[in-house]
Every structure is written in structure tokens, then in C-alpha cells.
Amino acid sequence: MSVPDRLVIATRESALALWQARHIAARLEALHPGLTVTLLGMTTQGDRILDVTLNKIGGKGLFVKELETALQEGRADIAVHSMKDVPMRLPEGFAIAAITEREDPRDAFVSKHYDNLAALPAGAVVGTSSLRREAQIRARYPELVVKPLRGNVQTRLGKLDAGEYDAIILAAAGLKRLGLGDRIRALLSTDESLPAPGQGALGIEICADRADLQALLAPLNHAETADCVTAERAMSLRLDGSCETPLGGYAEIVDEHFLRMRGFVARPDGSEILRAESNGSRAAAQGLGRQVADLMLTEGARALLIPRS
């Protein structure tokens, strides 16, 4: 199988997506002398529709569909995604060829006047459109007001700076990649805010029949991260087809060969949170994710799951 000497990356055009695509381009060119990587920027539905909360308009798929079409039509060879934005079930004919080493998976607290969530006075307004972040905040800090916040990372920071919010919650990974790590006032511990499945990891998507790309992309795969993300996504898939249930899932490596996995599902208002935790071998990451899901289902999680509409 001949290895290509040119590669096109399909990417969204937000600053974060472009950073991520350029990062992968640079890594590939460093790994493969003689390889030229270019970017094909495109706007997705998810970027266009900014006035509605994502889960109301079709969820994660909105950020990846146009990129997949570019792969299918041969206009691009690979697409770079935040794994957090990749639907749990890929459409027929697509595959994630590599998952890169995870950046900080935690959520970050950003505010002009306050040091952390606990320092906010009653009635303070916290911006996030993530059901997962909202449920966890409302469970722990019922006196705070959670207000929707969408747009790319810069837009969200702009709304905070304009005074529309007392604080906002963003993924630490995105801020750090954009050189905005100094905006982070506090990192939320994974106990306080359990991350979303895949948060902080990048995934490289290809058409499943592109065997010629496997060898090129394999060195980018980070086995530890891939095993953790596999467990997290298996949990999510078992629980929720709708993308409308607040849930978190986070696996980490312990003792080299094992995973510790934690998950939760909640009511959107945080009035009920069901948590589960289990350990398992890395070799059976998918089974571990399903097991954590099943533990929650046994405890009555089904009552919290919002059916696919």
C-alpha cells in the first residue's frame, strides 16, 4: 500500500478547531518527512446555529457531519475533532483512526471578580450550556443561577468580559490550547465536575476504507488515552441515545494496566445525581464503561434518562 505524500485535513474554522488541525498537521509533517499537510476549513451547522442550546437542535453530530461529507467526497483525507464532540455512534463507513494524548480533562472556572465557584455570592450568574456542567453546579450550589452560554471560546469569554455573567465554565483543554490558560481562575476537581466523555482528547476520523492512512496515523494514537476514551464512550452509548441527559464519564489509568472509571447521570436541575465507579483492566475498557453504566441503571438511572425525541 503506497503512503500518500499529500494530506488534506477537514476542519471547522473556530480558533480552537484550527489550532487542533494545525497541531495535527505539524505532528504529521514532523513524523513523516516529505509529507505535505494542508487544511480545508469549513463551517458546520453547529457553528451556524448559535441562538439555541445544542441539545435542542440535534446535538454533537452537527459539528462533524459536513466534515464527514468532505471525507466521503474525497475533498479531504482526515478530520480532526475534539472527541467530546464526536457522536457515540459514527455513521456507517467512518472510523476513528487515532486518539491523541489527552490535554487537561478538567473544567475550568473563569471569572473577573471571583476565585472559584464556592466564592460566588447567592444569585450570581454562571454561564454554561452544558447540561453536564449545569447539573453538577446546581446540585452543589443551588443558590447560584445557571444561564445558557454558547459560541466559540472567544465569544464566551467576550460575554463574560461584557458583564453578562459573573463566571463561566469552559474546558481547560480549549483555553490552554488557545494560549488562554491565564484566564483560568480555578480548575474544578473531577469530583466537583466530572468531565464529559472524551474531554481533552483529539480524534482523527477517516473513511474506514482508507487503509493507506493507517500507518501514517498510527503513531499519533496514544494507547492510554484511547483506552480511557473507549471506556467513557461505551458508558455514554449504553446510557443515552439522546444527548439530552446530563451525564459525565471519566476514566484514568491506575497501575499501568488498569482503569478507574467514574460516571454520573443527573436530572438537569441537579436535584438527583446518580454516581457509579468501578475498576477494570485496560484490555477490557469497553466492558468497564458498560459496567459503570449498568451500575447506574441498576440504581434507577433509567428514570433520569431522557428518551431520544
Catalytically annotated residues: 85
- 235 in Cβ contact with 290 (< 8 Å): yes
**Residue 248 found at the interface with ligand PBG (CB under 6 A):** no
Question: By C-beta, is 133 or 138 nearer to ligand PBG?
Answer: 133
Residue 280 backbone phi and psi in degrees, to 5 = -165, 175
Cell of 61: 453530530
Minimum Å gap between C-beta 211 and ligand PBG is: 28
Question: By C-beta, is 152 or 291 nearer to ligand PBG?
Answer: 152
Question: By C-beta, is 87 or 200 nearer to ligand PBG?
Answer: 200
11, 44, 55, 82: which one contacts ligand PBG (CB under 6 A)?
Answer: 82
Minimum Å gap between C-beta 152 and ligand PBG is: 8
Minimum Å gap between C-beta 34 and ligand PBG is: 30
21, 171, 186, 226: which one contacts ligand PBG (CB under 6 A)?
Answer: 171
Cell of 174: 480549549
Residues 261 to 300 in contact with ligand PBG, rule: CB under 6 A: none
Spell out a b/e string for 19-33, using b for 16 or more CB atoms within 10 Å of the CB, else e: bbbeebbeebeeebe
Smallest Cα–Cα separation from 66: which of 131, 11, 2, 122? 11
Minimum Å gap between C-beta 86 and ligand PBG is: 10
Residues 6+ positions from 240 with CB-CB distance below 8 Å: 247, 265, 305, 306
Question: By C-beta, is 101 or 294 nearer to ligand PBG?
Answer: 101
Residues 189 to 228 in contact with ligand PBG, rule: CB under 6 A: 199-200
68, 77, 85, 232: which one contacts ligand PBG (CB under 6 A)?
Answer: 85
Q: Which listed range, 71-79, 166-174, 273-281, 298-306, lies at the site for ligand PBG (CB under 6 A)? A: 166-174
61, 127, 174, 246: which one contacts ligand PBG (CB under 6 A)?
Answer: 174
Q: Rounded CA gap, 264 and 216, in Å?
A: 37
12, 84, 132, 290: which one contacts ligand PBG (CB under 6 A)?
Answer: 84
Q: How far is CA 9 from CA 20, 30, 290, in A?
A: 11, 16, 33
Q: How far is CA 257 from CA 228, 234, 239, 250, 291, in A?
A: 11, 18, 26, 16, 18
Question: By C-beta, is 81 or 138 nearer to ligand PBG?
Answer: 81
22 DSSP 8-state letter: H
Q: How far is CA 274 from CA 5, 93, 134, 193, 229, in A?
A: 50, 35, 15, 14, 21
Q: Which residues bind ligand PBG (CB under 6 A)?
A: 82, 84-85, 153, 170-171, 173-174, 199-200
